[in-house]
Amino acid sequence: MPVADVVKYEIKIPEGVEARLDGFDLHIRGPRGELIREFKHTRLKMKMEDGKVVIFCPLPKKKEYAMAGTWRAHVLNMIKGVTEEFEYHLKIVYAHFPMKVTVKGNKVVIENFMGEKAPRYANIFGNTKVEIKGDTVIVKSINKEHAGQTAANIEKATRIKNRDPRVFQDGIYIVKKG
């Protein structure tokens, strides 16, 4: 893939969303809340122009071209997060021992997993909200990374070691990302 002479992405800020650049920090505020992220690089630059976030780099190398695309994706995810919300759905699956899943503070507590006496814990990142409705766990956040990491922590907490995964399929699994 040939690399262009200049990389320039313009991301339009939708109605109801405010964006401002404070040094290297991009602040995006919307109806759901505010997200702040640092965008710092030696050659890539970001600026505000006519209600748009502009990411640019003159004479980019391959890695700078890729990093500009990554920054663009982060800004779009921030805008989507403050207007909508990122939501992950996880399914509680068990064959014999019914699991009891609860939220206590900033942890998800999984009790009676495969008949174990000691509970298992999963950390909740940032201001992520976790709801348990029957055999479904719903993870919501305006920050995509916090929602994804929380869902991954819950899934990882019920990983089974030293058993055949074709037979022992108990656990909590991500079934829908969003």
Predicted pLDDT at 2: 60
Which of these three, 67, 83, 99, is where a domain ends?
Answer: 83
Please say whether the beta carbons of 139 and 87 come within 8 A: yes
Q: Are residues 78 and 99 in the same domain?
A: no
Q: Are residues 41 and 61 in the same domain?
A: yes
Q: Are residues 91 and 48 in the same domain?
A: no
Q: Are residues 165 and 92 in the same domain?
A: yes
Q: Are residues 69 and 141 in the same domain?
A: no
Q: Is 126 a member of any domain?
A: yes
Q: Report the alpha-carbon distance of residue 130 to residue 173 in Å, rounded.
A: 15
pLDDT tier at 175 (50, 70, 90 boundaries)?
very high
Q: Which tokens is 125 given?
A: 């990142």
Q: Report the alpha-carbon distance of residue 69 to residue 58 in Å, rounded.
A: 14
Q: 64-120, pLDDT tens digit by residue?
A: 999 999 999 999 999 999 999 999 999 999 998 999 999 999 999 999 999 999 999
Q: Is 95 a member of any domain?
A: yes
Q: Is 47 a member of any domain?
A: yes
Q: Are residues 13 and 45 in the same domain?
A: yes
Q: Is 138 a member of any domain?
A: yes
Beta-carbon contacts of 15 under 8 Å, excluding residues fewer than 6 positions away, are none
Q: Is 10 a member of any domain?
A: yes
Q: Are residues 69 and 111 in the same domain?
A: no
Burial class (CB in 10 A: 0-12, 13-18, 19+), 62: exposed
Q: 130-143, pLDDT tens digit by residue?
A: 999 999 999 999 99
Q: Are residues 99 and 79 in the same domain?
A: no
Q: Are residues 32 and 102 in the same domain?
A: no
Q: In this model, does residue 1 exceed pLDDT 60?
A: no
Beta-carbon contacts of 72 under 8 Å, excluding residues fewer than 6 positions away, are 9, 11, 55
Q: In this model, does residue 5 exceed pLDDT 90?
A: no
In sign, the C-alpha dihedral spanning 13, 149, 108, 97 is: positive
Please say whether the beta carbons of 108 and 154 come within 8 A: yes
Q: Is 1 a member of any domain?
A: no
Q: Are residues 91 and 70 in the same domain?
A: no
Number of separate domains in the chain: 2
Q: Are residues 10 and 77 in the same domain?
A: yes
CATH number at residue 75: 3.90.930.12
The boundaries of the domain holding residue 118 are: 86-176
